[in-house]
Amino acid sequence: MKRWFALPLWQRVLGGLALGVLIGLWLPAIVPWIGFVGDLFVRLIRMLVVPIVFVSIASGVTALADPRKLGSVGGRTVALFAFTTVLAVSLGMLAGLIVQPGVGAAIGGAQAHALGEPKPIYDQLMGIVPTNIVQSLAEGDMLAIIFFAMLFGFGVILAGEEGKPMAGLLQSASRVLFHLVRLVMEVTPFGVCALIARAVADNGVAVFTNIGWLAVCVALGVIAQVLFVHLPLIAFVARLPVGRFFKGIIDALVVAFSTASSAATLPVALRIALDKLRIEPGVASTVLPIGASIGKDGTAMYVGLLSIFSLQALGVQPDLPTLAIVLLTGSLAAFGTAPIPSASLFMLAAVLAAVGVSPEQTALIVGFVLPFDRLLDMTRTVASASANLTVTATVARWEKAIDDRTPGDPLL
């Protein structure tokens, strides 16, 4: 038992994956007997989705309560992160539509799901504002939950001193939920084993083909986000040497890749902003923590990509209204994603629920992708780390808070 828990979770998940493949190939007769473990894992994921979406978004908004963050620097920071997030979701969706990694994917027995006639855009937009938030929470109406969570967070900020106890409660609830996520993750190797065994028994090793294409799309999305969004901001808005900028932030990108956590990258990013980019401490210490909370370009790209992957796996051909809903909901969900590994998988439910995918099918998709998510998470976190430092440098330029050196003197 000690040796088991001494192993990193990702190694245990890979072990469960390998065992599931062997069972599916060589012992398919026992798959029905272990199927309940996969079903239990699916139910645990569903149990956590709604509270995580609400608490993480509301607590993220209350983190902006510092007056400095609500001023010019904070406003520009949030606006710029919103801009890069929307572009990231769009690029992820575009990669999914071009490569089509989800076509033919076997998601553990889920059947093709037709969404039927989409609601008019007006009805979708009006539905964002809930008439009964308790009912929305009970039904898992993610668009309404996201809207109310953001509004609730702003209400806590506006309450001032009287709202501080609630802000503390939200932060505490957020930490408690993250510990619950860790507990659920301990079940992951067993759930993965059961789900993969069922998938392989039903479909053979061809089930892994789609994951390979999904990994290709993640890499393409990260590269596109850096080249077409971050690089122009650095070159034309922040007006910094592009090559030297990315050379200077390499430490943060490596830490982001190895930890798959934006929060873990924050100390390194702060040191780079102060020492190498020569950004004033007031701006760096304001923008980077906000970025650790809402600057999730990698997650945003992945949520958009995985949403398209999921619809393709369910046999659904998304139309323009569906794509618009995915873009809107994916952007909002990415803002509220916790800075911890694999958190974006929980936010996927917010997007899929908005276009009519059932919680059971969403949970099956999460179980299908989760065994491979560690490497995908490491890759997409690089885009988030790059976005945080890009936005910090851009805001610092707007605020005239960069100490430019004399002509000919290297910036980094």
Which of 330, 290, 249 has the alpha carbon at shortest distance from 71?
A: 290
SS3 annotation, the chain: CHHHHHCCHHHHHHHHHHHHHHHHHHCHHHHHHHHHHHHHHHHHHHHHHHHHHHHHHHHHHHHHHCHHHHCHHHHHHHHHHHHHHHHHHHHHHHHHHHHCCCCCCCCCCCCCCCCCCCCCHHHHHHCCCCCCHHHHHHHCCHHHHHHHHHHHHHHHHHCHHHHHHHHHHHHHHHHHHHHHHHHHHHHHHHHHHHHHHHHHHHHHHHHHHHHHHHHHHHHHHHHHHHHHHHHHHHHHHCCCCHHHHHHHCHHHHHHHHHHCCHHHHHHHHHHHHHHCCCECHHHHHHHHHHHHHHCCHHHHHHHHHHHHHHHHHCCCCCCHHHHHHHHHHHHHHHHCCCCCCCHHHHHHHHHHHHCCCCHHHHHHHHHHHHHHHHHHHHHHHHHHHHHHHHHHHHHHHHCCCECCCCCCCCCC
Distance between CA atoms of residues 344 and 327, nearest Å: 15
Distance between CA atoms of residues 166 and 174, nearest Å: 12
Distance between CA atoms of residues 383 and 88, nearest Å: 9
Q: Which pLDDT tens digits describe the chain residue by residue (412 residues)?
A: 778 777 776 678 778 878 988 998 888 888 888 888 888 877 787 787 778 778 866 776 676 555 555 567 777 888 899 999 999 999 999 999 999 888 776 665 544 334 344 455 566 667 778 889 888 888 777 668 878 887 888 888 888 889 889 988 988 887 787 678 778 777 878 887 887 787 778 656 555 566 778 888 999 999 999 999 999 999 999 999 998 899 888 878 877 776 666 766 777 788 888 888 888 877 777 777 777 767 789 988 988 998 898 888 888 888 888 899 889 888 877 765 655 555 666 667 778 877 777 777 777 777 777 767 766 777 888 899 999 999 999 999 988 888 766 444 444 4
Which of 199, 210, 211 has the alpha carbon at shortest distance from 25?
A: 199
Q: Which CATH class is domain 9-398?
A: mainly alpha
Domain boundaries, the chain: 9-398
How many whole angstroms from its chain centre is CA 309? 15
How many whole angstroms from its chain centre is CA 376? 11
pLDDT at residue 204, rounded to an integer: 62
pLDDT at residue 115, rounded to an integer: 39
Tell me the Ramachandran region of residue 261: left when phi exceeds 0, alpha when psi lies from -120 to 50, beta otherwise.
beta
Residues 6+ apart with CB under 8 A from 265: 252, 255, 256, 259, 292, 381, 385, 388
pLDDT at residue 308, rounded to an integer: 92
